[in-house]
Structure 1
Amino acid sequence: MQAYHSTFLSEPDTRVVGNFAVLPLRTKFRGPAYPTSEDYDIIDEVIDLFRANSFFRNFEIKGPADRALIYGILFISDCLSALSARNVNVDRNEAGRILNTLALEHFSIPGDPGFPLNSLYTAPRDRTEADLLRGYLSQFRQELAVRLILRVYAEGDKPSKYWLAFTRRRFMNKSLS
């Protein structure tokens, strides 16, 4: 069985920094991503494919959009781990604070010594590209955290056990943290 790849691989005129796709986002957060009016963007795709792809140890990268998908899946894994790190279920508001903090905290980008996936990603060419990528990833992480809360807490003030069951799964045996 093969892993699910991004549907945005065939997007024309996609900006690429290093080898990471900077795709348009439907977001309210400020950043370098082009706003889109489409109903389905890369954030929706990451959330939709997270549970199916988290079972795979190997993932064949077919393009820059797949690298964005990988980063998003690994960030969701970190988010779910942060939510389940406490022994009690956190309510929706507390989960929002936890994930917002996680999204905004300092993180490594491809090319930094602390980035765990440097073998899969190419470093930005210069400081301008590095700043663009850091801004995009910050915007990506914030929007992903907000939409993940909506999905994990869709049934009310308690998290879905079907989402939290994936805290022990490691996509490609990797983690961003």
Structure 2
Amino acid sequence: MPAYHSTFLAEESADARQVGNIALLPIHSKFRGPSYPPQSEYDIIEETLDLFRANCFFKNFEIKGPADRLLIYGILFVSDCLSKLTRSVNLKEAVRILNNLALDSFSLPGDVGFPLNSLYQAPATKNEADLLRGYLQQFRQELADRLLKRVYADDEAVPSKYWLAFTRRRFMNKSL
């Protein structure tokens, strides 16, 4: 059974923004950053959350384009977020934990600590690196916020066991 790929592969065109080989897709966000709002309600954040549970079982993932690279990054970040929520924490504590994780310093492609340097190209210039860092920070913040809304949809006191069941799964045997 093949892995699920991004539906935004078809939307990529010559005018789509890209840094290295990562697509900077539009997202609906309440956080400040370089992303712009998409024309439809469905964005890459929703797609990442929808495909996380199906894709986290795969050890191999064929990359078909820049949108798949952003999807991979999102799935790895969701996995990290869920691993931080393993102990039973309420929503208020979870918001604090995931906000700190999203705002924490992180490696970009080409940096020494980035786990997927073989799959990603480094930004060509310092301006591109700053743009990618800003976009990924906005992406991480919005992804953590929407993940919390799903994990704590039923009860604000305890996280959903149906989401936490995936904490031991390692997509592509990697983590951020």
Normalization by structure 1: what TM-score?
0.96
Deviation at 1:36, TM superposition (A): 2.3
RMSD of aligned C-alpha atoms? Answer: 0.8
**In the alignment, residue 51 of structure 1 is paired with which amino acid?**
R
Q: Are 1:4 and 2:25 matched, yes or no?
A: no
Q: Distance in 1 between matches of 2:18 and 2:135?
A: 11
Residues 1-177 of structure 1 aligned to structure 2 (within 5 Å)? 1-11=1-11, 12=13, 13-84=15-86, 86=87, 89-157=88-156, 158-176=158-176
Q: Which runs of 5+ in 1 are unaligned?
A: none
Deviation at 1:173, TM superposition (A): 0.3
Aligned-partner SS, 1:159: coil
* Contact 1:152/1:163 (<8 A) preserved: yes
Aligned-partner SS, 1:135: helix
Deviation at 1:38, TM superposition (A): 1.8
Normalization by structure 2: what TM-score?
0.96
What is the identity percentage for the equivalent residue pairs of Structure 1 and Structure 2? 73
The worse-fitting range, judged by mean Cα deviation, of 31-40 and 70-79 is 31-40
Aligned-partner SS, 2:18: strand
Q: Which runs of 5+ in 2 are unaligned?
A: none
**In the alignment, residue 90 of structure 2 is paired with which amino acid?**
D
Aligned-partner SS, 1:166: coil
Question: What do the CA deviations read for 1:13-60 (whole angstroms, capped 9, x no partner)?
Answer: 321100001000100111111122421000000000000000000000
**In the alignment, residue 144 of structure 2 is paired with which amino acid?**
A
Q: Distance in 1 between matches of 2:106 and 2:75?
A: 16
Moved over 4 A (4+): none
Q: Distance in 2 between matches of 1:117 and 1:91?
A: 33
Aligned-partner SS, 2:9: helix
* Contact 1:26/1:37 (<8 A) preserved: no
